[in-house]
Structure 1
């Protein structure tokens, strides 16, 4: 089993493909067949039973071939992470890791277990001001689900497809909020860990913070070297750095930033904590006088 942390740390996809020509062709056929069947079902076009049976049989054959490739890579001495990277494109793996973090956040939210707060000097929630928007969108999705159920009552296949999509959309919205709730900003061991939902996690050493100031902004222009982590369309704190830190984009591309704007439910508490930590004497340093 490949863990979420292993998926997140996948190395770049190698140039040499792990599959031979037959598995790649089989994958293309299965994908085309599944998409074609779905399009026919949604359009009300009858699909021959033999075609459905053939598509259903091709899927386990494809999964079996992928398992054989996995075993072959493992026998060559590759780790689980390396074998997974050979089988799954890097962007696909990153999307899978993000979805896994979103769904795991729902469980953390339910049991009230925040992520990454062990041995923290201070924790700063930042999800409060987006709650109304998230819950409003979720309510609209529920109303849309009920309306589509009524309109598609006489088309059970299409109704089922839309029902699954709508339910997943609601779960995803709650997962986004849960990720923000369970992944607060954290100050620990001379590092400010700045986060947003399940896709931004930046560690800023305190000695790289040139200044921190409280300023509420509702408009943010995209500028090179700046990162705006808005919550409810606003930021309340600005960090100016002495040297850039890497804030990778969603698909892993590096992005160096020297200015970070973020939000916290209590910006004064975050400002005071960072100011005290920056000006406090180093641990173990001899006292003057």
Structure 2
């Protein structure tokens, strides 16, 4: 892939695969995002009991899967992904929409009643599966490593950065990936282990620190800020510092236009079809 993070126009990143199009962090979502013309997608990763890297945003399985009604998970609370093997997690349906994205058919036929032969594209994917689909679709992939430092035993999560980078390298996807995290130590470690793989520091909307200094310390290539407190001056400063800047989660067309005018290099959105 020959794309650069800095282009004549902002790259369009489908947030969690484009969760207005299909269930978040599923392969079904990213396939639909590609159809809209998205350049890449953002996803979240963490680990299972047997050390597999999977796509999941929350630190439990309740909101975005049918774990709350699945016998295995009801009988073994709480529904924390690191307490289950990949084989067990693959039994779940991930075909769950947040209410504001929920299509009418899901109101008529709740996700808990979906058939057991649900396609693999609507189950929780592994990072390996996500990388392979991204390669087939010729899309960028922004791998956000969830901050597991206080939520998961160190025996499982202590080497999460190395696990993620190992999967990326094994798939020969080094030049198609950005590794990002709110845990800036993860970002710094990623750059130490694999200097050639692009990285980005994530910051909350009201981040109290200096994001450019955080990016410098982590040796990051990009800054991924919450867009609501972004200003034109901050965008200019980031660009002058040589950083790509990919704000999230930009869902309104007017916000997309304003940020594009300011000079952002990418837009992370739930609605790639509107970008």
Q: Larger relative contact order (C-alpha < 8 A, sep ≥ 6)?
A: 2
Query: Which structure shows the bigger proportion of residues in helix conformation?
Result: 1
Larger-Rg structure = 1
Tell me which interval the TM-score lies in, with the shorter structure as reference length: under 0.3
Structure 2 length-normalised TM = 0.25
